[in-house]
Chain A
Amino acid sequence: LAKTTQPISMDSYEGQEVNITCSHNNIATNDYITWYQQFPSQGPRFIIQGYKTKVTNEVASLFIPADRKSSTLSLPRVSLSDTAVYYCLVERADKLIFGTGTRLQVFP
C-alpha cells in the first residue's frame, strides 16, 4: 500500500487559505483518500474523502491530480479553531495507511 508523507507542520494566520499536501507515490487503483482532523486528546474527525479530481464540502476541498500520487487538502479562511493535526488516509478494502500528520498552527 502507498506510503504516505506529509509536512510536519505549517503556520498560518486567520482568514488565510491553507493547503496541506499528502504524498502517496505508490497509490493503487482501488485506493481512496480521506482526510481527518485531530485535536489534542481527542479522536480524529472526518473532513473529506475523494478518489480523483476535486471534491468540495462545507468545510474543505480536496484536490487529487490525474496520477493520484498526491492529494491536497484546502481549508478556506482558517480560524483559530482550525489549529489541529491533519492526517491523510489512503485505504482499500484490506489495508489502511495514515499519513504522518501535519500540525497546523493558526495565529490571530
Chain B
Amino acid sequence: DSGVTQTPKHLITATGQRVTLRCSPRSGDLSVYWYQQSLDQGLQFLIQYYNGEERAKGNILERFSAQQFPDLHSELNLSSLELGDSALYFCASSTLSGGRPGNEQFFGPGTRLTVL
C-alpha cells in the first residue's frame, strides 16, 4: 500500500459526459501527479501540482483539467469524453516539487475509466 488513495476504482460512462477522478496523496506529500495509461500502452504524464500550484504540464488535452485543493487532495476533470479516453488514470504523490534528487513518486492503485 503506497498510501495514495484514488476514487473511484472503476468508472463507466458514455461519450460526451464529464467525470471527476479524485486523489488523496500520502500524508505530508505536497506534490501530486496525474498520468494516463491506455491499454497496453506506456505512461503518459498529464500534469503536476505542488502545494496547490500547477508545476509541470505534459500531454494533457484541453478537455481535461485538474486542481489541487488546500487540503492537498487533487481532482482530475475529464469532459466531452471520447472512446479514446478509456484508460487507467494514475495519481502519484511525492514530497518534493520534482526533478530533484530523492523525489520518489508513490503511485495510487488507479482509476479505470471506460467510455462507451
**Chain B positions within 8 Å of A49 at CB level:** 101-104
Is the Cβ of B92 less than 8 Å from the Cβ of A43? yes
Report if B52 contacts A (CB, 8 A): no
Is the Cβ of A94 less than 8 Å from the Cβ of B99? yes
Is the Cβ of A51 less than 8 Å from the Cβ of B42? no
**Chain B positions within 8 Å of A91 at CB level:** 98-99, 103
Q: Which of A43, A97, A99: most chain B Cβ within 10 A? A: A43
Count of residues in A whose CB is under 8 Å from the partner chain:
25
- A87-B42 in contact given A31-B99, A46-B104, A93-B100 (Cβ < 8 Å): yes
Is the Cβ of B99 less than 8 Å from the Cβ of A97? no
CB distance from B94 to the nearest CB of A (A): 9
Report if B56 contacts A (CB, 8 A): yes
Report if A77 contacts B (CB, 8 A): no
Assembly CA distance A89 to B88 (angstroms): 19
